[in-house]
Amino acid sequence: MKRFLVMTVLGLALAQNAFAAELPRQELPRLGEMRKFSVLPERKPVAAAEFHDPEDRPTSLDAYKGKVVLLNLWATWCVPCREEMPALDRLQGLRGGPDFTVLPVAQDRAGRAKVERFLGEIGARRLPAALDTSMKSGRAWGTVGLPTTILLDRQGREIGRLIGGAEWDQPDALRLIDAAIAEK
């Protein structure tokens, strides 16, 4: 198990560095921990993918057009996800509203009860319990590891992504989010 975890972490680090090395620096503020955030050279719509909202109704990212979305792909068994989720909950409290939302989509076969229990255990009260037990959405969105967080503009195009955990409620992350919200 330890060997698997070490190999997974190394693989994520290599994938993050390779992805970041291919991308030119953009104008969005990427300081401190957000230097790991890889900005795409050209924004493109994310792939169509279905997941379930907290009421178990099928939905997609089309439901969020018009808002800047911080899409977080995670799972209950993922240790970095557990560490990151409280910061995402605080970010939703700080910036969530008509212009911005944090959208965590659990890539978890364990089902809704486990996802809701997990969010309750860590005190995440502002985050929706979106779920994809098939994990097809993660594959459609090009996820290579969890957690993966993708920032989308108001048109549903990917601005960039960060592979691995981050403190999304810290000043460097807030500057990045605020710059995306300020774009019209």
Q: Cα separations (Å) of 167 from 57, 120, 162, 173?
A: 30, 19, 11, 7
Q: Which domain holds residue 10?
A: 2-182
Report the Cα 81 to chain-centroid distance in Å: 10
pLDDT tens, residue by residue, 98-115? 999 999 999 999 999 999
Band of residue 184 on the pLDDT scale cut at 50, 70, 90: confident
Across the chain, mean pLDDT equals 88
Higher pLDDT residue, 69 or 12?
A: 69
Q: Is the dihedral of CA 152, 153, 158, 161 positive or negative?
A: negative
Beta-carbon contacts of residue 172 (< 8 Å; ≥ 6 apart): 29, 30, 31, 32, 33, 34
**Which pTM was predicted?**
0.84
pLDDT tens, residue by residue, 18-34? 433 333 334 677 778 89
Residue 105 is part of a domain; what is its CATH number?
3.40.30.10
Domain tally for the chain?
1
pLDDT tens, residue by residue, 62-102? 999 999 999 999 999 999 999 999 999 999 999 999 999 99
Using alpha carbons only, how large is the chain's radius of gyration in Å?
A: 15
Q: What percent of the chain has pLDDT over 70?
A: 85
Q: What is the pLDDT of residue 27?
A: 65
Q: Find the range with the poorest average confidence among 25-34, 133-142, 155-164.
A: 25-34
Q: What is the pLDDT of residue 39?
A: 95
Structural tokens at position 136 = 């097809």
Residue 6 has pLDDT above 60, yes or no: no
Residue 51, strand partner residues: 59
Residue 12 has pLDDT above 70, yes or no: no
Per-residue 3-state assignment (H helix, E strand, C coil) for 93-127: HHHCCCCEEEEEEECCCCCHHHHHHHHHHCCCCCC
Q: Which residue has the tokens 């990917």?
A: 158
Higher pLDDT residue, 150 or 11?
A: 150
